[in-house]
Structure 1
Amino acid sequence: MTSRISLQVDFEGRKFYLTPISIEIDLKEYVKRGDREDFEIKMVDEATGRIIPCQFSPSENGSLNGNLSWIHPSYAHEKLEVIIGRDVLKGYNLPEGVKIWDRGDHQLEVFVNGVHVTNYIYNDAYERPFLYPVIGPDGINVVRHIPNFGDHPHQKGINIALGDVSGKRGETGINFWALGDIGDPRHGRVIHQRFRKIEDGPVFGLIEAENIWKQNDELEEPTYNRSKWKIKSKGQILMKERRTITVWNVSPMRIIDIHTVMEPITDEIILSADVEGKEMAKENGPLVIRVADSMREISGGRIVNSEGKMTEKECWGRPARWVDYYGPVKKGGPINGIATMDHPENIRHPTGWHVRGYGLFAANPFYDKKPEWPDQGPIYLSKARGDRFDMRYRIYIHRGDPWQGRVEERWREWANPPQVEIQ
């Protein structure tokens, strides 16, 4: 026995191509009781009969409520049929899609259609988890190579960082941006705790991790030999974080979504604490990227934002819905761009950007580094109120410049996706 669902997709007159779409759906009334352990889902374009790979992700293990996702081919496909039952995919080979492999050395490798795209590195030898390398559409890494002993060694791949996390009003916060020294309690680390979920499939791969944001232990005599460490005072755990990374199957381009949710462990957390006479500049993310050296503006790359501004001078510190950093992925090589997008529901959207000619590329809703830039002020998170710092970003890696890569259209597809009606 099979069940069928009709979907009507409304593009509102806009042109969409290879667009990730997800809808919430409850399959209880469509899945027969005896099929609940091994049912399959097939999505078909009604006009052409073409099968469109789809992926159902339950809200929790065993649940029939969750999200149905697919990569929509184009705006020409308005009516879809979803067929649910046993063996409905018999005779059809799904694409390899996105696969996630645990290497066993605190790294997860992510492949899209058999091509290595990135690693999620959560080894506590580093100050925080990050994505590296990040392989673009021409098979070349688009972020700075590591190890790197040049400027700003803490700027690794794609990561989440904050420069000022305080657990008490009136006190300078802990620096989770820079490396810091061993045993220095003015700095902190983001430490992996566990994976809540790892999912792969024909449409996307997903990594959902739990982290803690912990102040460094203060040591009596700092040394690189851990066996000789003597802790003078234990560092405080300030926040817990749930981080979800989704890699979509839109080869050869790349779409990586990052959703971070931070919650206070202490009674109150102040992000970018407002402290009188504070000497340290507020180097804040949360989203941080370091582009490949060959793509930097100082090496011939370009910076463009959604407001039509260009260059570091015009884009640094300025609010924008997205910023695209593009350039040759190697000397004399093809042009790739990294477009980073701020979701409309993020606090202080459109965000300011810490985007520099030397290759730093960070979304920063706190920016006040220069007097002419308006100080946005701190963000207060109360444990009693259940406050959360909830931020979503999309990273779109494309060929060519932002016009060739249709960056503005891609932002609109994400910010205002097509409406899907279940009929």
Structure 2
Amino acid sequence: MNKINIGCFLILMVIFSCKDKVEKGDVGEPSPKMDQVTFNNDEKNQKVDILLDGNLFTSYIYDGKTPKPVLYPVITKSGKKITRGFPLEPVEGERVDHPHHVGIWFNYGDVNGLDFWNNSYAIKEEDKHKYGTINHRQIVETDAENGILVTKASWDTSDKTSLLEETTEFAFSQNGETRKIVRTTTLKALEDVSFKDNKEGMIAIRVTRGLELPSDRPDIFMDANGIPTEVKVLNNEGVNGNYLTSEGKTGEEAWGTRAKWTTLYGKIADEPVSVTIMDHPNNVGYPTYWHARGYGLFAANPLGQEVFSEGKEKLNFSLAKGDSVTFKYTILVHNGEQLTQDSLNGYFSDFSKSQ
């Protein structure tokens, strides 16, 4: 057998060997590409898992356990959960207030007189007519190549009348130690709709205990047996969160002020982490007011102007039937060396140029 025939024979042997391994399942799945986004559409559990490099970043959950779709949990690249577990997965040592604060969500406290913000499983049956529900309707698209998830939902009254049709595009990505969500939500009015100025809104995240601001106020926490227990003297060990706004406001002073972006930073298990929300110049009410509380509620609310300005301003935003409005936000989830103010301004500059 000459050299050419021997070479061909060896090549054929390799091909058949690989084919045999594939048929027998001996060859593993290819490793995810760097920063690759993967969507796992779990219809049984009514959620879509979003993975980066094969690791869970967050899940879009629409199982009805909360009266709106949420992103939960939210996890840094290094594996730190920055969202509070309660009420979906109660964790010892975390607060158990405000059962409507779950993961990352988007809603409002006064839509045609209905409270979409405070609705939860804890509302009594006789009071449910006062509240609205955001019902998931459809997964429109999952585009892994571009990290895009598109969903539809409806903002409904207790008697099932739909006030708003919501179309939301989530764009997920990762750059180094920074994970990013760009949320673009368009609300189309199916009836004449008013958004009366209200402090309860609009895009929000409820963070884990470590990212709260230290406090000595008594509260109710989950004990080791899963029982809510009043704690009169708080243990602030490991609690080290702090706010910084684009305008230089820090700590509790961030609440009720306007800013282009606000970051909440601290340490979880001795690792620096932060979550940043950025407003977009095209949004109504830009630059937004911040409903940023020390106990872990971190929200941007562009529509509550009369409340935050103590009556100096008034918006009372409304939509006529058939009209639409779009809100666009960036959320940065970072671990490792703290992002500088210059770095955050750079992220904001890039974001503000997008349409």
TM range (shorter): 0.7 to 0.9
SS of corresponding position for 1:350: coil
1:360-375 equivalent positions in 2, closer than 5 A: 360-367=297-304, 368-369=306-307, 372=310, 374-375=312-313
Query: Normalized per residue, which structure has more strand?
Result: 1
Match of 1:290 in 2: 206
Whole-angstrom distance in 1 between the partners of 2:72 and 2:342: 23
Report deviation, 1:94.
5.5
1:44-193 equivalent positions in 2, closer than 5 A: 95=34, 97-104=36-43, 105-147=45-87, 148=90, 150-166=96-112, 173-179=113-119, 180-182=123-125, 184-193=128-137
- 8 A contact 1:177–1:283 mirrored in 2: no
Report deviation, 1:388.
1.4
Whole-angstrom distance in 2 between the partners of 1:407 and 1:136: 17
1:89-140 CA-partner distances (Å, limit 9, x unpaired): xxxx964710000123101111111111111101123210000111113211
Task: Sort the Cα spacing of 1:370 and 1:306 in 2 relative to 1 into closer, same or farther, 3 A.
Answer: closer
Whole-angstrom distance in 1 between the partners of 2:141 and 2:249: 39
1:317-362 CA-partner distances (Å, limit 9, x unpaired): 11100000011224xx211110100011111110101001001111
Whole-angstrom distance in 2 between the partners of 1:94 and 1:100: 14
The one-letter amino acid of 1:146's match is F
Match of 2:271 in 1: 334
1:323-362 equivalent positions in 2, closer than 5 A: 323-330=262-269, 333-362=270-299
Q: Identify the range of structure 1 (191-200 vs 360-369) with the bigger mean alpha-carbon deviation.
A: 360-369
Match of 1:387 in 2: 323
Report deviation, 1:272.
1.6
Tell me the TM-score normalized by structure 1: 0.64
Match of 2:255 in 1: 316
The one-letter amino acid of 1:401's match is Q
Aligned residues: 286
**Unpaired runs of 5+ in structure 2?**
1-31, 215-238
Match of 2:18 in 1: none
Tell me the TM-score normalized by structure 2: 0.76
- 8 A contact 1:243–1:260 mirrored in 2: yes
1:187-246 CA-partner distances (Å, limit 9, x unpaired): 011000111111102xx4211111011112xxxxxxxxxxxxxxxxx3422111001111
- 8 A contact 1:109–1:118 mirrored in 2: yes
- 8 A contact 2:262–2:277 mirrored in 1: yes
- 1:198 corresponds to 2:136: no
Match of 1:416 in 2: 353
Whole-angstrom distance in 1 between the partners of 2:182 and 2:65: 25
SS of corresponding position for 2:210: helix
Whole-angstrom distance in 1 between the partners of 2:125 and 2:170: 29
The one-letter amino acid of 1:391's match is F
Task: Sort the Cα spacing of 1:96 and 1:252 in 2 relative to 1 into closer, same or farther, 3 A.
Answer: closer
- 1:259 corresponds to 2:201: no
1:48-87 CA-partner distances (Å, limit 9, x unpaired): xxxxxxxxxxxxxxxxxxxxxxxxxxxxxxxxxxxxxxxx
Whole-angstrom distance in 1 between the partners of 2:107 and 2:326: 14
Task: Sort the Cα spacing of 1:106 and 1:185 in 2 relative to 1 into closer, same or farther, 3 A.
Answer: same
The one-letter amino acid of 1:416's match is K
Report deviation, 1:251.
4.2
Give the alignment partner of residue 272 of structure 1, picking from 191, 196, 199: 196
Query: Normalized per residue, which structure has more helix?
Result: 2
